Amino acid sequence: MSLIINKEKCVGCTLCVKACPFGALYMENKKAVVRPEQCTLCGACVEACKFDVISIKREKTAQADAQARGVWVFCEQKRGVVQSVSFELLGKGRELANKLGCELCGVLIGHDIESKSQDIIQRGADTVYVVDHPQLKHYVDDAYTAVLVRLIKKYKPEIVLCGATSIGRSLISRVAVKIHTGLTADCTGLDIDPHKKILLQTRPAFGGNIMATIITPNHRPQMATVRHKVMKEAVLDPSRHGKLVKENFEDNVYVSRTKILDIIEDVSATVNIAEADIIVSGGRGIKGPENFKIIEELAEVLNGAVGASRAAVDSGWIPYSHQVGQTGKTVCPSIYIACGISGQIQHLVGMQSSKTIIAINNDPGAPIFQIASYGIVGDLFEVVPLLTKTLREKLRK
């Protein structure tokens, strides 16, 4: 779509300039002029113009690029270390690529990171595209976006996957806008339609009450972000070999409007629940902040982390950093113990991939029992301390 201004009919009334909420219009020689890079095609100027001077040209929906081929994974790295969410996406990406009969490719952007390409190949990638430059050492929106956009336009992938991390969300949304394609955020499931061979992107919708499957039939690449710990990591295969493709661009591509002055590490005494192998979570059934002590004691015995439902966090009983669920963190521990958590879909989305789920609740009809590996129907204030005591005695031996 594009904004069209009929200069011959424009009377220079400035009504459109005043109506534009983005400052995309200005007057030149008493005629309205548009700044394309600032215009969002919201239509406010069209409604404001009393002389039918402005219109929005809607182009015919573009057909999918028949040349698009390959599944790409943006492999996020921090300080030269490829993040585990990338290995999770490579696992799913390998599966998708096999169904499509195409290559799985990793994209690695940074500085002094070429050696890490082998880590990506050993996790299933056939080809790794590497862009290495000093100005890419730390993530900056402008430079990383410009680089990824150029790679996509040159090699034309069919699918691009990215982690739904703070970096991934910032980057991939910008890329989608630049290349005029769709983007499905926070997917919990990805698959290929066996007949149409298009990407099926499943994610929670309407506050997590339903699961929606979204498709991008008319534009390429098909793009999606996936939360950390939703999918299993690709298996490491040291014997795998792949192709390395190094790309370089003009210096202006790496220029950014922002500058990193300093990086301050988040120092915390708590275990990161997203990486924890055992998590003990408390919900509304805990009844108060003081009662989280029994959750903490069980977690300590198991050398695990303390999690919480949104209800407990919203009540101010525990900080947000402990929240598990759609609006918190997605986790995939070996053992997840849910204490006093009913199991609404918003919470289940964040922990249902756990290998073993143990539910403790006094309501036998609680939804959490439907996905639990083991369920204990009883008063958590009796069950949890007894469980802690028993485990402490057993683990001492």
Residue ranges of the binding site for FAD: 284, 309-310, 323-327, 340-347, 361
- Identity at 255, one-letter amino acid code: V
User: 44 is written with which tokens?
Assistant: 């406010």
Q: Pull the structure tokens for residue 365.
A: 């009809």
Give the integer Cα–Cα distance in Å for 28 and 25.
10
State residue 288 phi and psi, 5-degree precision: 175, 160
For residue 303, what are the CA distances in angstroms to 282, 283, 298, 335, 397? Answer: 16, 20, 9, 12, 16
Q: CB neighbours of 13 closer than 8 A, spacing ≥ 6?
A: 50, 51
In the chain, the amino acid numbered 97 is: A
Match 């499905």 to its residue by tokens. Answer: 184
Q: From CA 50, how far away is CA 16, in angstroms rounded?
A: 9
Which position has the token pair 């956009």? 149
Structure tokens at 149: 């956009």
Query: In terms of Cα–Cα distance, which of 245, 256, 247 is closest to 136?
Result: 256
Q: In 3-state terms, what secondary structure has residue 172?
A: helix
Extract the tokens encoding 327. Answer: 């609006």
Residues 297/392, Cβ–Cβ less than 8 Å: no
Q: Which helix (H) or strand (E) holds 107?
A: strand 104-110
Residues flagged as binding site: 284, 309-310, 323-327, 340-347, 361
Alpha-carbon distance of 307 to 303, in angstroms, equals 13
Residue-wise DSSP of 370-388: HH-SEEEES-HHHHHHHHH
Give the single-character DSSP code of 277. Answer: S
